Structure 1
Amino acid sequence: MRAPEQPTFHAPVLLVDDNAANLLALEAVLEPLGQRLVRAMSGPEALRWLLQEEFAVILLDVQMPGVDGFETARLIRQRQRTRFTPIIFLTAHSRDEAHLVHGYAMGAADYVVKPFHPDVLRWKVEAFVGLYLEQQRLQQHESTLWERERRMLEQQGELRFRRMVDTMPQFVWELLVDGSIGYANRGWLDYAGLTPEQGRQWKDTLRCLHPEDVPALRSAWQKAQNEGRPLERECRLRRSEGDYRWFLTRTIPERDERGQLAGWVSTATDIDDARHAVETLRAASEAKDMFLTMAAHELRTPLQAARSFAHLATVRAGDTLPQGMDKALHGLHRSVNRMAKLVENLLDVGRIQRGELHLRPSMLDVSSLLREVAEHFEPLPDGQRIELDAPEGLVVPGDRERLDQVFTNLVSNALRYSPEGGRIRLAAREEAGRVHVEVVDHGLGIPGGKLEHIFERFSRAHGISYGGLGLGLSIARGIVERHGGRIWAESPGGEGSGSTFHVVLPGEPGAPAR
């Protein structure tokens, strides 16, 4: 193996003299050195050259019109870059001691008196050129050592990084700019039973992907490449044993300091167990919903029969009911109605879950609707009252029966959770083409930890103490959202602080609620 060729250095030499014949003579003397010779016919021209590049030595004539050699040398020494550049003064004066002292004070490294011996001048310049070239070689050697050390550190860092990546439970791929695989970690190779060479081949990698997932993943990857955007997909990867497991794959672009695409990093995380757990929970939830729906349907018939028999008994008995029997029948009728309401709630939850809650919309007056809701609860127990603050003319498109169900539920809750009595406020106002309804109470309030869950099925802010199945607010949310609206609650959370429920409905068909 041949050693790498050493770079060839050339030392630029600056020749400064206002006489062209003198410059020609200097070039003839120094040409055998084989270095680059640069002419300057004045001090300012020499300074311009020094702004552009670095010189091994400067041959500077002392006697020049305008800016002489001494002044030029002084300006050269003022610049940090040229402070130590060797200067050989060329002078026709004798070696007067005062003259020499002044020259050295201006920064001269040497003096040559005209007429000079060509060999002497060439030897002096050659000495400075040799020092310059040696300095360049040392700098190059130092740079080479630094570059070698940097590469070695990079290689060691990359080796440590890949060793760390090989121990990760996730699969990791490093992709080049064109999408080809540059590296696959040990976890993937062991899982798929591939060699490192096979792990860098797309054809071998794609064989481990479930055939049903290939078209969608290929299309999504092509789009991500074209747009330079991250990609996240779920897919099935085959193990070396032959079975498939579900993985979440993420691919993100890597960019250099200029923001240009430099490659891609892709990972795959095993989600098979979690996915099966979710599917099991979903199946259990669907089975539970199906059971509740079927049970509710089965309960409807006997409840209707019980309600009819109680009513029939009341009508036939007339005024001949034994003492206390009328009260018993009234209690039976009330209990049957409550049970029927619970059954209807269960059926509504099922309809909302299946997206089968059908509306019969019409243009309805919100003030009239809220007035009817308030009348549902009359007469109220002592100490409780409902105040209505809803101007006429607030019209929304909606199913009157279903919206009545929403506001009746909210007012019922407000009364139920105000055991000490107090004022329930029903207020409505127009807001930028929408109608905003508030139901405000001063009762128990909603604990802070429960506020974000109260609209979930079977959720009860105060446990079982106040009855109910915890379905009313869930149904209310489903109905409001089916109308294209929003529902939410606010409460400071302290006992006696009360709650405010907000319902926002579009004021015209298709207008979204904010």
Structure 2
Amino acid sequence: MHNDSSGEVKFLLVDDLEENLFALEALLKREGLALYRARSGPEALELLLVHDFALALLDVQMDGMDGFELAELMRGTERTRRVPIIFLTAVATDERRHFRGYETGAVDFLFKPLNPQMLTSKAGVFFDLARQRQELARQRDDLRAGAAKLARALERIEAHADNSPLAVVGFDQDFRIVEWSLSAERLFGWTRADMLGQRAAEAGWARGEAAAAFAELEAELHAGGRTVRNIRLSRQDGTMLDTEWYSSVLQGPGGRLDSAHAQILDVTERRRAEATQRLLLGELNHRVKNNLATVQAIANQTLRSSPDLDAFAQDFSGRLQALAKSHSLLSDATWSGAMLHDLLDHQLRLGTIDDSQLEVSGPEVRLPPQTALHLGLVLHELTTNANKYGALSSRSGVLNVHWQVADQGLEVRWIERGGPAVSQPSRAGFGTMLIEESLRAEGGEACCEFGGEGVTWTLRLPLDDDAGMGAVRTAVDRAAPMSLRMHDI
């Protein structure tokens, strides 16, 4: 190259006479041209090591190292061997000296006294050539910089595509796969080598209805524009995925499809979550209806069995609180069920009970939601009666609650001792009916014994044959709806 970062073109002038150098400078001086002077061969070599010259004008006759010797040294060095040389001489030369000059790399000979027009014309050619080389070099550097920038941008795009949670897949005009990102490889299991060149509808991921979905997608893309479509595809291991496609196209001449690009999102878990949400909403709707029916039944029957509004308000409020506490217990466990011990604790603490009056024992038993709601109401009724009329109405009374799992069922024994004397009533009240109907709704039963020392209730609920340790009717959807079948409601 014969330029530098300043953009100037450089000429080297070599002559052992100062006046000749001044004359050359005066003739060649022009804008954009830098002239460097040397009065000997060694001085010229020093300049050649530092600068890139577009032309060297060498005087043949110099003391010490002449122009031919300097030219030979220049041709022996890679840095300077391509610098054009014009020899200047005041002596007529024979063919042998001409040959020697051209052999050392000379492009021309000029004779002194110099013809100014000839000198400037020939030097101008090399000046223009240098300018053209500079422009070509600039364009080359710009192209290289642009190519490097594009390469880096492409690398970033590919890296983003590979790291994206969305699989990136490209297609040609025949809907053959021409781009397969690492994210696509991670999602579907197939490598680039497996998928490149295959038609989308014929590749391994297209099973079942996918081929028809691809045909519809291809038709949409050929029509132009962007599209969003859900397609169920297969992984290499056979696992089926629900995918959401975000596709765009590039069109060629005449609006024909040139290429298509798709970003594919795995929405399998989202679809499962949506299905679960729909199921839960349906279950919630079912529960709300059942609970409202239960509340309505409790309200109607409580009203009919209450002697006055104050008694109704007290009894109805207590039963609603019992239902609410069971709901709260289940909500804390995300409606997965409730432990029987926790349910007892919630309902027995509705009143103020001295710990010395209470004995509770039994294994760990998890109740499903509906069973917990029914049994919660039962325990509330038993606790309310014990506080009003039974063992817990007296300081000397004792309540023993014990349960066990036996004979494929849960048995709860509610035993009151030490309270006021009790006798069997002439007719069953609403509380008794509520206890019996609540357990009957779960496929169980309730038995009551009236003795001189106090009342004893035996509550029985069935267990699933495949239930785990202490689990009662573990599947929510297998539990009976919470409804009270009271004939006088």
TM-score higher than 0.5 here? no
What TM-score, normalized by structure 2, do the two folds share?
A: 0.33
Higher relative contact order (CA 8 A, sep 6+): 2
What TM-score, normalized by structure 1, do the two folds share?
A: 0.31
